[in-house]
Structures are given as C-alpha cells and as structure tokens.
Copies of this chain bind each other. A is one copy, B any other.
Amino acid sequence: MAEEKLPNWLKNRAHLSPDRPAIEFEGQTYSFLELHTLTEKMARRLASAGLMAGDSCAVLLRNHIDGVVAIHALFYLGVKIVMLNNKLTAKELSWQIEDSGASYLLSEGSFASKLDDMAGNLPELPLLLIEQLPNGGTAEILQEFYLEDTATIMYTSGTTGNPKGVIQSFGNHWWSAVGSVLNLGLHEGDTWYCAVPIFHISGLSILMKSVIYGMKVVLAERFDEREANRAIQENGVTIISVVTTMLNRMVHDLKEASYPDDFRCMLLGGGPAPIHLLEACKEKKIPVYQSYGMTETSSQIVTLAPEYSMTKIGSAGKPLFPSQLRIEQDGKASGPGEAGEIVVSGPNVTKGYFNRLDATQQAISDGWLYTGDLGYLDEDGFLYVLDRRSDLIISGGENVYPAEIENVLGKHPDVFEAGVTGTEDEKWGQVPLAFVVLHQGAELSESDLLDYCRQSLASYKIPRSVIFCKSLPRNGASKLLRRELKKGMEEWQ
C-alpha cells in the first residue's frame, strides 16, 4: 500500500454516476458528467497557458462554479494548488505566494483591484485570469491520484511569526471524507450546503466529499442566513457546515419556524460554541453536530456522534473512526477532567508545513500533531475544547478561558455575540477584556452587563471592562480572532 492510488475522483464519479447532481450554483445545477466535461475543458485551457504536472499554482478565487471547476482542473493536471484566502491584503497574499514557490497565479477579473495592488510586491510569475485563458489545446489528464501526493497547500497564521503552508495530500482529503461518512452516514438524497469559503478547508472538504460520495453540493458565493434557511426549508439541503456566528444568525432568522425532518446535520466547527446557542438549537430541534478540526487535520477530526448530540451538549465529541486523540500536559497524558493540550493523529493529519522543517518538527512528533489548543476529556472520553492555547488568559496564576466568559456574556438576552481576550495588568499579569455586539436596537450598560457576569463567574474572571462594537474580527472561515480584538481596541483608544 506504499503507493496507494485511487482513480481520479471527479472523473471516476462522472463515470460511476454521470447523471447525479453534483453542484448547484446560482440556481443552475450541474451533473457529475457536466462538471467533469467543464473540468476537462478548463484543464485543456490551463495546459495551453503552460501549466504542467508537478507545477504549483496559487489560486485566488471566489465561491463560484468557475472556481470549483478550476480546482478540479488543476487536480486533473497534477498541479499542486496553493489556496489563497481572498480576504487577505495584497501584501499578505504576495508574501504567501512567494513563500509557497508557486510558479503561477490563477485568479479572475473580480479581483482586479487586489491584483493591481499585488503587482508591485509579486515575484515574477505569470498571472492567469480564468476569463482570459486560451481556448482549446490538449491536456494530459491524471487517471489516478496517488494518496501520498500533495493536493493543496493552505496557509495558517498560527500564533506567532509568519503564516505556514499546511501540506494536504490527496490521502489527507480522502481519509477526512471517509472518517466523516463513517460518522455522519450517507443518504441517497444528501445535499450539502456550502457557504463557507472553498479556499478554506471547511469549504474545500465539502467539494472533496461531493465527488467521493457522489453527493450534491449547493454552493453559495457568500453566506446569508435567509438564503441558508431557505435552502434548508425549500431546496432539499440535508447538511450544512457553519461556524458559530453563522449558526447564531440562522437561528435568529429562523424565529418560530423550524427545519424539515430531512435536514439531518448542522455541522458546527470553527471553535467552541456558546452553550446558550447550543441550548437554543436543542429547543428548536436543530441537529447540531459540534466538531473540532483545523487546516492541519483536513477539516473535522473530532465530531459528536448522532446519539450524543443532545446529551453531551458543549462537547466536540470523539475522534472520527480513523483518527486518535489524547490530552497532554507537561509530556504526560492527562486524566479525565484534566485540561491540557489536544494532541491528534490519523491519516487525515498533515505530514507537515511547506518548507518549514522546524515548525513541522515542533508540531508533529511520531505522527502526533500538537494542536496548541486546550481541552479535556470527560469520564466517557468526550472532548471539551476550552480554547486555543494562545488565547488562554493567565490572571493571578489562574487559567481563565475566554470561551467560558463568552458563554456567560452570550446568555444575556441583549447580547448577540461576544469575544474575550486578555490584556496586561500590573497586579494580575493579565485580566480579561470583553468585546460585545448587542442585538439591533438593544441597549445595555457596561455595569449592568458586568453585574450579570458576577451572577455566574468568579471575580477573577469578570472582565475589567466591556467594549461595545458593531462586529467581531473573524478570519476567512468566520472563526473568531481573539488576538485581533485587542488590536481593534488599540486602534480605537
């Protein structure tokens, strides 16, 4: 099995189930055969532009059928894809492109102004615009994918220093899809709604599942809670991937309505979710599957199995079948209830960071990835994610977990969402600071909110102050960026 290979995924799927719907975008549905035909055509155009097997190509794309086709076409050609986050600045993008050693940049007209901004910083590499690719030509299409081969590289910021390119092999994507199907099951009419970015592992993993499972995806260019709710209520969507803020907005938009019985999975990732939100979902009978994962694990690696979604509320669950998990503190495995670093392994886990031997060796030891996240296992082996280790606040020697305080703030009826981070304090080392977004029209004073906190939290966990704001900083995957909260504050003060 040293050179395990599988027939080219989309091409194989188009052979096995040509007529099944593959993807719906802006009201138009493409079968797997149609998607394959578009992909072959795109592959020929990219080959005519010079792309060849073994090349590496950075892509700056929207959630759009053209982007999906471009990604598959690059796989067809055996070209490694450097997935760029289209929310980054021109400077950040240029840095990543240079770091990745990509020899092409593939983008589209809608990014014209950003591409202009990048022009000065960019290394000398050809820029290809989808709309301007040459027509026709021939291309050699990969008949098989080797699981060891690199499929994609995605940059993550980590906590310090420059971003690092996470290497994701075809095998990583494959095993991620297989681990997920063994947990979530697979029904004949399954349709997965993708409003998370396809340049991020949350979105890309849905595209991979689509071709591996033979499953329909409804792709949205951007997230809109009304659109998402409508898709579930009227368009046969059975599964959707969301992060907390998306779920929050969907639940508010849903009001007294509910989802049809066929809707079977609200897959929630992107960090610990506030308990009050999970409880609201429980009341509305929304089948939330809390999950935990990251770019390095090629999407979810821990997910709450169906039978526990209502009894282990707040837990991220147990590892997917092919993966393993332990909690470690000071090099020793932690016992039940003891917090420590989350350490994971499995065939969906990256083999390392591109061109970063040091970072790879620091993060991965004997196949186990040290995630830098904090959590604990309960008596039954369920994972509870506390926080990203970098977000931990240490106040007077006590560990203070931002998520715990956010949970309390979020329960206040006037609060839409909250973020907490630490700030320097002469006496305590660090103290918590709260950033709060209120519901539209709501009014609430800082002192009232702090009084509210005092009902549930020990005094050392009470935020030193509350900063009311219009939105919280989030990354391309809508994950809360706690370290950016402070940055905002510094700018405002």
Q: Report which A residues bind B (CB closer than 8 A).
A: 1-2, 4, 6-7, 12-13, 15-17, 19-20, 147-148, 171, 178, 181-182, 185-188, 212-214, 305-307, 318-319, 321-322, 324, 347, 381
* CB-based contact B178/A321 at 8 Å: no
Please state if A324 and B17 are interface contacts (CB–CB under 8 Å).
no
Chain B residues with CB under 8 Å of A6's CB are 321-322, 347
| Contact between A1 and B321, CB atoms less than 8 A apart | no
With A16-B321, A181-B182, A188-B185 as known contacts, state yes or no: A4 contacts B305, CB within 8 Å. Answer: no
Instruction: Report the nearest B residue to A15, measured CB to CB.
Output: B381
Q: A307 and B213: CB pair below 8 A?
A: no
In the docked arrangement, what's the CA distance between A12 and B345, Å? 14
The answer on a CB contact under 8 Å between B188 and A1 is no
Write the chain B residue with the least CB distance to A211. B321
Known: A15-B381, A318-B16. A347 touches B188 (CB 8 A): no
28 contacts between A and B (CB under 8 A): A1-B147, A1-B171, A1-B347, A4-B4, A6-B321, A6-B322, A6-B347, A13-B321, A16-B305, A16-B318, A16-B319, A19-B307, A20-B307, A178-B178, A181-B181, A181-B182, A181-B186, A182-B186, A182-B212, A182-B214, A185-B185, A185-B186, A185-B187, A185-B188, A186-B186, A187-B187, A188-B306, A212-B321
Q: How far does the alpha carbon of A1 sit from the alpha carbon of B307 in the complex, in Å? A: 32
Q: B residues within 8 A CB of A381? A: 15
In the complex the two chains form, is B182's CB within 8 Å of A213's CB? yes
A4 touches B321 (CB 8 A): no
Q: How far is the CA of A214 from the CA of B179 in the complex (A)?
A: 12
Complex CA gap A184/B160 in Å reads 46
Pairwise interchain contact B186-A1, C-beta atoms closer than 8 A: no
**Smallest Cβ distance from A143 to chain B, in angstroms?**
9
Q: Which residues in B have their C-beta under 8 angstroms from that of A188?
A: 185, 306
Q: Is the CB of B4 within 8 A of A347?
A: yes
Q: Which chain B residues lie closer than 8 Å to A16 at the CB level?
A: 305, 318-319, 321
The residue on B at minimum CB distance from A177 is B182
Give complex CA distance A38, B318 in Å: 23
Which residues of the partner chain B approach A322 to less than 8 Å between Cβ atoms?
Answer: 6-7
Closest residue of chain B to A187 (Cβ to Cβ) is: B185
Q: Which residues of B contact A171 (CB under 8 A)?
A: 1
- Docked Cα-Cα span, A418 to B167, in Å, equals 58
A264, chain B: closest CB distance, angstroms: 9
Q: How far is the CB of A303 from chain B (nearest CB, A)?
A: 10
* A178-B178, A182-B212 known, 10 other contacts, Cβ within 8 Å: A1-B4, A1-B147, A1-B347, A2-B2, A4-B4, A4-B347, A13-B321, A15-B381, A19-B307, A181-B186
Return the 10 tightest CB-CB contacts between A and B, nearest first: A185-B186, A2-B2, A16-B318, A186-B186, A6-B322, A1-B171, A178-B178, A7-B324, A1-B147, A1-B148
A155 → B minimal CB distance (Å): 24
Residues of B within 8 A of A181 (CB): 181-182, 186
What CA separation (Å) do A287 and B275 show in the bound complex?
44
* A306 partner residues in chain B, CB cutoff 8 A: 188
Which B residues touch A213, using CB under 8 A?
A: 182
A120 to chain B, nearest CB (A): 42
Within the complex, the shortest CB–CB distance from A167 to chain B, in Å, comes to 13
Quote the shortest CB–CB distance from A383 to chain B (angstroms). 12
Chain B residues near A307: list those with CB within 8 A.
17, 19-20
Chain B residues with CB under 8 Å of A147's CB are: 1
A7 contacts which chain B residues (CB < 8 A)?
A: 321-322, 324
Q: In the bound complex, what is the Cα–Cα distance between A321 and B7 (angstroms)?
A: 8
Docked complex Cα distance between A186 and B186 (Å): 5
Nearest CB in chain B: distance from A172 CB, A: 10
Report A180 CB to chain B, min CB distance, Å: 11
Distance between Cα atoms of A373 and B175 in the complex (Å) = 32
A416, B322: Cα distance in complex, Å: 46
The CA of A19 and the CA of B178, in the complex, are separated in Å by 22
A144 to B253, CA, bound (A): 46
